[in-house]
Amino acid sequence: MPEQRLSVVVTRRLPEAVETRMSELFDVALRPDDRPMERDALIAAVRNADVLVPTITDQIDAGLLAQAGERLKLIANFGAGVDNIDVQTARQRGILVSNTPGVLTDDTADMTMALILAVRRRIPEGLSIMQRGDWEGWSPTGMLGRRVGGQRLGVLGMGRIGQAVARRAAAFGMQVHYHNRRRLRPETEAELQATYWESLDQMVARVDILSINCPHTPSTFHLMNARRLKLMKPDAVIVNTSRGEVIDENALTRMLRAGEIAGAGLDVFEHGAEANPRLRELPNVVLLPHMGSATLEGRIEMGEKVIINIKTFDDGHRPPDLVVPAML
């Protein structure tokens, strides 16, 4: 008799290769279209499935988890950040949570550098002039940006992605500074040539570019609040490829409009897809639709991680990328 296969519900379309492999291994319910799952469908999924594969567009909160059936044993998040999941409540209900760390580090760090360059060198402004057909020819003082080499970069959150940003920034000749819950080991600090600031306030006041690379947790929510944003130098810029909730977006918008911060590169927003519309009006602000980790290679590797986590669990072992509340 064939063995009972795990029933797995995937909430969004995943790359074809990932969906094919999942279908070979599990009794998987794939999405016919790529719209975020409605709450009712999510409830049905947690009631009936053994494993749920959500993404950042699904809120797996205590209310939803309260509806989970006896069978639900694993939430294998397609994503590194798990702020869409109430990990604590899941744990209390005996449901494991896994994520996909590591495979989106380089892509996200690349996008951070792209945003730094885009803002400091005014790339979207130049593109817009060309697209409008408004270029009147070269001029010695035309489209002057700021040189990134020699600038002080402050990395807020020196985990995998923060460190990958630091390596890239050093190659561009930037001076790397960082703030993190824990100081790095001396050999890592030396390798990254990074200067540690125990006080975030002090670091923020001294850098030319601030890059947000920490996860969104209760203790990082609005870490860059109005008071801290005001500490930044008026000619400094901020880039965020992490989570919008780390910055008070309304305060940032006000300060950008008032010229109290020189620019911003934002890939993520406090209210998901609802970026403050005033940000769109500002020439010194580069907005992207959360595409920091959006490479085909990255998405396939994320899918492979999800599969490994489910398969390992199915084989009776601890999923390699288990998220435990103490990590958050």
Q: Do residues 69 and 94 lie in contact, with contact meaning Cβ atoms separated by under 8 Å? A: no
Q: Do residues 245 and 216 lie in contact, with contact meaning Cβ atoms separated by under 8 Å? A: yes
Shortest distance in whole angstroms from residue 152 CB to ligand 8YV: 26
Q: Which is nearer to ligand 8YV, 274 or 281 (CB)?
A: 274
Q: Which is nearer to ligand 8YV, 26 or 78 (CB)?
A: 78
Cα 297 → chain centroid:
17
φ, ψ for residue 196 (rounded to 5)? -85, 135
Q: Do residues 55 and 104 lie in contact, with contact meaning Cβ atoms separated by under 8 Å? A: no
- Tokens 């060309």 — which residue? 130
> Residue 216 has which token pair?
């969104």
- The partner residues of 195 in beta bridges, in order of sequence, read 177
Q: Which is nearer to ligand 8YV, 78 or 197 (CB)?
A: 78
Q: What DSSP character marks residue 12?
A: S
The number of beta carbons lying within 10 Å of the beta carbon of residue 4 is 8
Angle at 308 between CA 306 and CA 314, to 5 degrees: 105
Classify burial at 72, counting beta carbons within 10 Å of its beta carbon; exposed 0-12, middle 13-18, buried 19 or more: buried
Amino acid at 136: E
Most distant CA pair in the chain: distance in Å? 78
Shortest distance in whole angstroms from residue 236 CB to ligand 8YV: 24
Shortest distance in whole angstroms from residue 293 CB to ligand 8YV: 3
Shortest distance in whole angstroms from residue 39 CB to ligand 8YV: 18
Q: Which is nearer to ligand 8YV, 56 or 192 (CB)?
A: 56
Q: Which is nearer to ligand 8YV, 111 or 119 (CB)?
A: 111
Q: Do residues 288 and 111 lie in contact, with contact meaning Cβ atoms separated by under 8 Å? A: yes
Question: Under DSSP, is residue 42 helix (H, G, I), strand (E, B) or coil?
Answer: helix
Shortest distance in whole angstroms from residue 45 CB to ligand 8YV: 16
Contacts to ligand 8YV by CB under 6 A? 55-56, 78-81, 104, 292-293
Shortest distance in whole angstroms from residue 188 CB to ligand 8YV: 23
Q: Which is nearer to ligand 8YV, 11 or 89 (CB)?
A: 11
Q: Which is nearer to ligand 8YV, 53 or 176 (CB)?
A: 53
Half-sphere exposure (Cβ direction) of 198: Cα atoms closer than 13 Å: 0
Amino acid at 5: R
Alpha carbon distance 234, 225 (integer Å):
16
Q: Which is nearer to ligand 8YV, 28 or 80 (CB)?
A: 80
Shortest distance in whole angstroms from residue 6 CB to ligand 8YV: 21
Shortest distance in whole angstroms from residue 306 CB to ligand 8YV: 10
Q: Which is nearer to ligand 8YV, 6 or 302 (CB)?
A: 302
Shortest distance in whole angstroms from residue 166 CB to ligand 8YV: 19
> Residue 7 has which token pair?
């029933």
